[in-house]
Chain A
Amino acid sequence: MADFWKRFSRNRGAVIGLAILAIVVLVAILAPLLFPQSPWRMVQRPFLPPFAMDQYPLGTDALGRNVISGLAYGAQVSLLVGLVSTVAALLIGIPIGALAGYFGGWADDALMRFTEFFQTVPSFALAIVLVAIFEPSIQSIIAAIAIVSWPPVARLVRGEVLSLRSREYVEAAILSGQTSLTIILRQVLPNTISPIIVLASLMVATAILLESSLSFLGLGDPNLMSWGYMIGAARTVIRQAWWLSFFPGVAILLTVLALNLIGEGLNDALNPRLARRGK
C-alpha cells in the first residue's frame, strides 16, 4: 500500500486531482450543515451579483436562490450520479466481458455483437432518448448513463480475460476440477482489477459530464439541484448574469479534471510495467 501511494504521489497532477476531489466530496457531505436551507429557497432579490453580500458570496439566480448553496447540493447529485451509474455500468460490463473472454466461441461472438450494438449508437443520443422515454428522474438518468457506458468495460474485461485464460495457473485450476464460475471469480477477475479501476475513475468523470449535459438540456431530475441544471437555467440569461453559468461550469470543470488526473495517477501506480520503467 505504501508502495502504491509512493508511485501514485510521484504524479503531481494526480495528487492535486485527489485534493480537489476531496474538497468536492467534503462539500457534498457537509452541504446540509453548511447550508441548512434548501437550495431552491428564494432568499434574496433575483440576480444579486457575486460578492455583493457576504451571505451570498456567489450571488443569486433568476429566482433569488443562493448560488453557492446550489453548488454544494449540486455536488451531491453529480457525485452520486457519477458513482452509482459507474458501479451499475461495471455490474453490466464485467460479467459480459468475463463470460465472453472466458468461454470464447459462439458465446464470445454473441456477447460481443450485442456489445457492438450498443457501441454503434452514439452514447449521448441514446442517453437522451432513454431519459425522454422514462420521464426524467434521478433513477432514469443513472440507468441511462449506465446503459450507454458499459460497453467499453465489457471490451476491456474481455481482452484481459482472453490473455489470462491461457495462463498456466488457470489451466491448473481447470485440471484441479474447479468450476468455471470459481475460476472466473477467484483466478481471473482479481487480475483484471487494475485496468478496471483506472477505467472506472474516468467513467465517473464521463458520467458527471453526461448528467450535466442532460440537465443542461432540461432532461435532469426537476426536483434535484444539479450543476448541469444550473447552467441550463442560466444559459438564457447569460448576457445579464454571467455568474449563474460560470460558477457551476467551473465546478464541473474542476471535478472532471480532478477525476481524470486521478485516473492517470492510478494508471501509473497500478501498471507494474510502467512502475518498473520509472524506477
Chain B
Amino acid sequence: MLKRLTLLAAAFMVTTALHAEPVTGGRANVVIQPEPPSLMLGLVQNGPTQMVAGQIYEGLLRYDEKLQPMPQLAKSWEVSEDGLTYTFNLHDNVKWHDGEPFTSADVVFSADVFLRETHARLRTSLEHVESITAPDDTTVVFKLKQPFGPFLGIFEAGTMPMVPKHIYEGTEYKSNPANNTPIGTGPFKFAEWEKGSHILLTKFEDYYEDGKPYLDEIYWHVIPDAASRAVAYETGVVDILPGGSVENFDVQRIADMENTCITDKGWEYFGPLSWMWLNNREGPTADKRFRQAVMYAMDRNFARDALWNGLGKVSTGPVSSSTRFYTDDVNQYDYDPEKAKALLEEMGYDGETVRLLPLPYGETWQRWAEAVKQNLGEVGIDVEIVSTDVAGWNQKLAEWDYDMAFTYLYQYGDPALGVARSYISTNIAKGSQWNNVEGYENTEVDDLFAKAAVAVTAEERQKLYDEVQQKLVDDVPVAWLLELGFPTIYRCNVKDLVTTAIGVNDGFKDTYIEK
C-alpha cells in the first residue's frame, strides 16, 4: 500500500511537472453520501453539505495541504504587527450567481450578522473580534480584541462562507425560500436537486477567475447503500468516490481496478484523529500508569494495515500531524506488551473488568474494538465490549458512563480550534460528547493552551504547544489511535481533484477531465 502511495506521489509529481493543458468541458459524476439535508452552507455545515455547497459558496481564503492560506475571494491580505488588524483586499470583478456584484458589504454582512447568528463554531472564534468594517467596496478590515493565533485559519468556505446580503438582509434566515436555490459566488451554480436521486451543479460562466472552472457540470449521485456505491464506480456510473463513500474493506478491491487512483490527501484541514476516551475519574483508567499501559499494549500499526488499508498514520499525541504546531518530539508509545505488563504490575492492577464502547459507525469500528480488546487482553487487561447504537453511545459518553470509548474528532487546522477543547478543565460538562469527556484536569495544561491561543508570533505558539503536547502525551488523558486516512478514489484521468486542505469540498474549481 505504502509503495502504491509513493508511486502515486511520484506519478503526481511527474504530471505536475508536465502539467498538460487543462481540458475544458465534461461532467464529473460524483457520489454524495449521505444526501445533504440542505445546500445552504451558511445554515448547515455537516459533511455532505460542505462537499456539495463548497462548490457553490466560497470563503475569503483557501488552504493548501500545509494549511497555508491561498487567495480565493480575497486576492491579498495583511496582518498588522501587533496581530490585531487583518485587512483583506477582495477581487473586484466577482458576481453572485444571480448577477449582482459581490462587495465588501457582503463580507461584513456574512461574518458580522448572518454567521454570528447561525454558525456556532465560527461564533466562538468571532468572540475575539472587536469590529468588522468595510472602508471601501473591495476592502474588509477585521479588528481583534486580543491577538488570536488561529485567526487566519477560519476563512475556509465551510467555516466562513460568504452569503449574499441582497437576498438575506432583514429576512428570517432559516425560513428564507432562497435557501432551496442557493446563490453563491463559487465556480458552480445550483441547477437542480431531485431528492433521493441527484444534485446537479452547472458551470458559472461569469466566474471571476479566467478559464475556470473547466468542467461543465457536476452530477452528484445519491446512492444510499454502500455496496451499490461500490458497484456504481465499478460499472462506470460514477467516477469519483469521496472519502467515506465505500466501506474500508472495499477500498483495496476498487483501488486495484484499472485507471483508478487513490489519495488520502485533502483532509489536512479537518485532521480527523481517532482515540479512545479513557475515563480519568474512576476505575483503573483513573491511574496514569494504566493509561500508559493501554498505549503500549495496542498494536496500532496492525490496526492501520488490517482495518484502514494502510491509509492514515499512527498518532503520536493530541495534535494531528497535519495540524499546525504539531510536534513529534514527545514520548513515543510503540507496540510493547512487556512494558505494558510492567506498568500494570507496578500499579497493582487487580484484573478489574473495563468496559469498552465501540463507535457504532459500522464494521471497521467494530473490528477495531475487537482487535484492541485482544491486544489489551494479551497484557492481562480484562475488557468487555458493550454493544450500543448511536443514540446509546452519545448518551453514555455525555453521561460519562463508560471506561473506554472509541471516537474521532476534527481539528480544524489549529490546536486552539480543535484540540484544546478535549483537554482543558473548563470544558468539563455533562451532556456533550465533544468536550473534555475524559475528565482530565491539569492547570498547567489549561494555562499553556490559554497562552498559546493568544500568543502573537508563530514561534511563541509553537513553543507553548510543544510543551503542552509533551505534558499530555506523558499523562495519556486519552489513548490516541490513528490519524485517519479517508481515501478519495477517482479515475486517473480526472485531474487536480484534490488540491487543497479540504480536498473535494472546494476542489472542483481546478478539476478537469482528460479525454
Taken together as a complex, chains A and B put the C-alpha atoms of A63 and B368 apart, in Å, by 9
- Most-contacted residue by chain B among A38, A41, A46 (CB, 10 A): A46
B77 CB to nearest A CB, Å: 48
Taken together as a complex, chains A and B put the C-alpha atoms of A136 and B386 apart, in Å, by 8
Stretch at the interface among B64-72, B370-378, B417-425, B476-484: B370-378
B302 on the A face (CB < 8 A): yes
Does B387 contact A240, Cβ atoms closer than 8 Å? no
A233 is contacted by which of B367, B371, B386 (Cβ under 8 Å)?
Answer: B367
B12 on the A face (CB < 8 A): no
Range class of the A interface residue count: 20 to 34
Known: A218-B387, A233-B367. A239 touches B253 (CB 8 A): yes
Does B385 contact A222, Cβ atoms closer than 8 Å? yes
A17 CB to nearest B CB, Å: 34
Does B374 contact A38, Cβ atoms closer than 8 Å? yes
Does A40 contact B249, Cβ atoms closer than 8 Å? no
Question: B residues within 8 A CB of A25?
Answer: none
B306 is contacted by which of A63, A136, A219 (Cβ under 8 Å)?
Answer: A63
B462 on the A face (CB < 8 A): no
- Most-contacted residue by chain A among B253, B366, B370, B388 (CB, 10 A): B370
B247 on the A face (CB < 8 A): yes
Does B253 contact A42, Cβ atoms closer than 8 Å? no
B363 on the A face (CB < 8 A): yes
Taken together as a complex, chains A and B put the C-alpha atoms of A218 and B385 apart, in Å, by 13
Closest to B249 in A: A237
Does B249 contact A135, Cβ atoms closer than 8 Å? no
Does A233 contact B363, Cβ atoms closer than 8 Å? yes
Taken together as a complex, chains A and B put the C-alpha atoms of A41 and B337 apart, in Å, by 14
Residues 235-250 of A, flagged 1 when their CB comes within 8 A of B and 0 if not, give: 0110110000000000
Question: B residues within 8 A CB of A218?
Answer: 366, 387
A253 on the B face (CB < 8 A): no
Taken together as a complex, chains A and B put the C-alpha atoms of A135 and B370 apart, in Å, by 17
Interface positions of A from 204 to 243, Cβ below 8 Å from B: 218-219, 222-223, 233, 236-237, 239-240
Does B385 contact A223, Cβ atoms closer than 8 Å? yes
A29 on the B face (CB < 8 A): no
Taken together as a complex, chains A and B put the C-alpha atoms of A236 and B307 apart, in Å, by 13
Taken together as a complex, chains A and B put the C-alpha atoms of A41 and B374 apart, in Å, by 6
Residues 345-376 of B, flagged 1 when their CB comes within 8 A of A and 0 if not, give: 00000000000001000010011011101100
Residues 41-71 of A, flagged 1 when their CB comes within 8 A of B and 0 if not, give: 1100010000000000000001110000000
Does A236 contact B363, Cβ atoms closer than 8 Å? yes
Closest to A42 in B: B374
Taken together as a complex, chains A and B put the C-alpha atoms of A44 and B51 apart, in Å, by 39
Give me 29 A-to-B residue pairs in the complex whose CB atoms sit less than 8 angstroms apart, sorted by A's number. A38-B374, A40-B373, A40-B374, A40-B377, A42-B371, A46-B306, A62-B249, A62-B367, A63-B306, A63-B371, A63-B374, A64-B306, A132-B389, A135-B387, A136-B387, A218-B387, A219-B387, A222-B358, A222-B366, A222-B369, A222-B370, A222-B385, A222-B386, A223-B384, A233-B366, A237-B249, A240-B249, A240-B252, A240-B253
Instruction: Other than A41-B378, A236-B249, give 10 A-B pairs with Cβ distance below 8 A.
Output: A38-B377, A42-B302, A46-B306, A62-B367, A63-B371, A218-B387, A222-B385, A222-B387, A223-B384, A236-B363
